[in-house]
Amino acid sequence: METVSEVRSHGGLQGVYRHASTATATEMTFSVFVPDHPKGASLPVVWYLSGLTCTHANVTEKGEFRRACKERGLVFVAPDTSPRGPGVADDDSYDLGQGAGFYLNATEAPWAPHFHMRRYIEEELPSLIAASFPVDLSRQSLMGHSMGGHGALTIGLRNEDRFKSVSAFAPIVASSKVPWGERAFTAYLGPDRTAWAPYDACALIAAGRRLPALLVDQGTADTFLERELQPQRLEAACAAAGQPLTLRRQDGYDHSYYFISTFMADHLHWHADHLG
């Protein structure tokens, strides 16, 4: 693992790191904030998954998470959203290819050689973090934004014993039923919709998957609200299944990091309460 940068911030160390990934067969970059802590201590960890077009840098630079992480003793990990680099398949549009990994394992050409973000997030990166940072993987929570909210919900639901809590900002909740998901899943997974089910949060809930605690914030002025996000689908799926959900509709907020940074501390304190 290569250290790209490390800086002191909010009573902790904010680092950016790079490593050769076996899951994606590319170099991957991620950021980690570690608050000051007693020697030998192991801290709970919150994973943050970013949205379309983003890298680790968006939340690292604009998420305003460090103060709350210091106050509650949380390690904050922010990976990239897709494999990148020469030889990695891409598309001219923003919602497919590099920057749009959708946290799945691609099976279709030309994406299959590198687009294995599900395996990277679920398997490879946690092992690397556990070996390199003072984290307690028995105390993990997961959060994300937009496409990353889709990733947080679906990864959390597929690994229901791993995470103490899951939250999201403006998540894609029914990926197989909205244009962003239909386009990406057709390209990455092929036309057989049965292969899409593990990557649709509402379908996973309907199939019996559960989360111990779920918090979602959605801005009412989000331009993607009606076409791509449709939080009412998650609300209905959770109500039908008895899945606890706190869904907060935030009046006047959009899809940007102005929205995310406003409520980031709320989410981190909520996670900390569940992490113990």
Q: What is the CATH number of the domain that holds 13?
A: 3.40.50.1820
Q: Give pLDDT, residue 217.
A: 98
- Tokens representing 236 are 């209905």
| SS3 (DSSP) at 257 | helix
| SS3 (DSSP) at 80 | coil
- H helices of the chain, in order, are 56-62, 66-72, 117-119, 125-132, 147-158, 179-189, 201-206, 231-241, 257-275
- Tokens representing 70 are 């210091």
Exposure letters 78-108 (e unless 16+ CB within 10 A, then b): bbbbbbbeeebbbbeeebbbbbbbbbbbbee
Residue labelled with tokens 């020469």: 86
Per residue in 48-91, pLDDT (tens digit) is 999 999 999 999 999 999 999 999 999 999 999 999 999 999 99
Q: Please indicate whether residue 261 is annotated as part of the active site.
A: no
Q: Please indicate whether residue 127 is annotated as part of the active site.
A: no
| SS3 (DSSP) at 54 | coil
Q: Give pLDDT, residue 158.
A: 98
The number of C-alpha atoms within 13 Å of 212 and in the hemisphere containing its C-beta is 16
What domain range is 234 assigned to? 2-275
In the set 50, 82, 222, 271, the catalytic residue is 222
The number of domains in the chain is: 1
- Tokens representing 41 are 């201590």
In the set 56, 145, 150, 255, the catalytic residue is 255
Check: CB of residue 228 under 8 Å from CB of residue 179.
yes
> pLDDT-derived band of residue 23, with 50, 70 and 90 as boundaries?
very high
| Residue from 191, 199, 210 nearest 102 by CA | 199
In the set 146, 165, 175, 176, the catalytic residue is 146
At position 124, the amino acid (one-letter code) is: E
What is the percent of the chain with per-residue pLDDT over 90, rounded to a whole number? 100
Q: Please indicate whether residue 255 is annotated as part of the active site.
A: yes
